[in-house]
Amino acid sequence: MLDLGLTGKVAVITGGSEGMGRAAAEKLAREGVRVAICARRKDVLENAAQQIRHDTGGDVFAMPADVRRAADVKSLVDAVVQRYGGVDILLNNAGTSAAASFEKVDDDAWQEDIDLKLMGAIRLCRLIIPLMKQRGGGRIVNVTTVGGKAPAPRALPTSVTRAAGINLTKSLANEYAADKIRVNTICIGLVKSAQIARRAKGDLEEHYRELAKRVPLGRVAEASEFADLVAFLVSDRAAYITGTAINFDGGMGATV
């Protein structure tokens, strides 16, 4: 068995109640990480935490928080520090798909997306990086999209905020490398999620088969596969990887 060297670490995962965030929380809990998850819906979040505890025997702390609100982010980080004493791993995963043509995106929609996807990550990093420095290092993974590298038509505002997230990743990686804080981003393509399921009309598996036609590998990714990549990136096995934007897209992105 490959030892990832994660036992006893503390992780904060935003958007941890469903999909990729939940899968990452479960994977890290199985690796011995003490995991704090947040999301906006308390009931869904608590159900996820209880199930992960049951399935893994891990230490999972759940706290409702909206990363668009600075006060919520501070309360979350304060609670994690009080419970665990610090933070070693941050997965900025909170976000929803928002794609429309330029003329249909008004100021409110732009601000909503910026607050959720960009400022949410900035707020968490601002509070957690000093904690990581105190512990002698840390690992941050920002979830973005391949559209942040090469936007498709009518993919606003997400393609812009995700491009900013990729830039944020490289900026932080360069600034904090000397502090042994590694920062990477996973640029996702199509991954099975509750968001996709809620938008599907008719049979979900048929919907996934239709989406898979856009993917060279011929299928939509499993959330557990995303979780495996996260676990590797935050592990000792990835100690020389920082400032990278890794496509997790089955080959569908237009860039490498």
pLDDT at 201 (0 to 100)? 83
pLDDT of residue 47: 98
Residue 200: the pLDDT is 84
Largest CA distance in the chain: 52
Return the pLDDT at 3: 86
The mean pLDDT values, 10 residues at a time, for the chain of 256 residues are 90 98 98 98 98 98 98 98 98 94 98 98 98 98 98 97 98 98 98 89 92 97 98 97 98 94
CATH topology of domain 10-248: Rossmann fold (3.40.50)
Q: What is the DSSP string of the chain?
A: ----S-TT-EEEEES-SSHHHHHHHHHHHHTT-EEEEEES-HHHHHHHHHHHHHHH---EEEEE--TTSHHHHHHHHHHHHHHHSS-SEEEE------EE-GGG--HHHHHHHIIIIIIHHHHHHHHHHHHHHHTT-EEEEEEEEGGGTSPPTT-EEHHHHHHHHHHHHHHHHHHHGGGTEEEEEEEE--B--HHHHHH--S-HHHHHHHHHTTSTTSSPBPHHHHHHHHHHHTSGGGTT--S-EEEESTT-SS--
Task: Give the global pTM.
Answer: 0.97
Residue 200 and residue 254: Cα distance in Å, rounded? 25
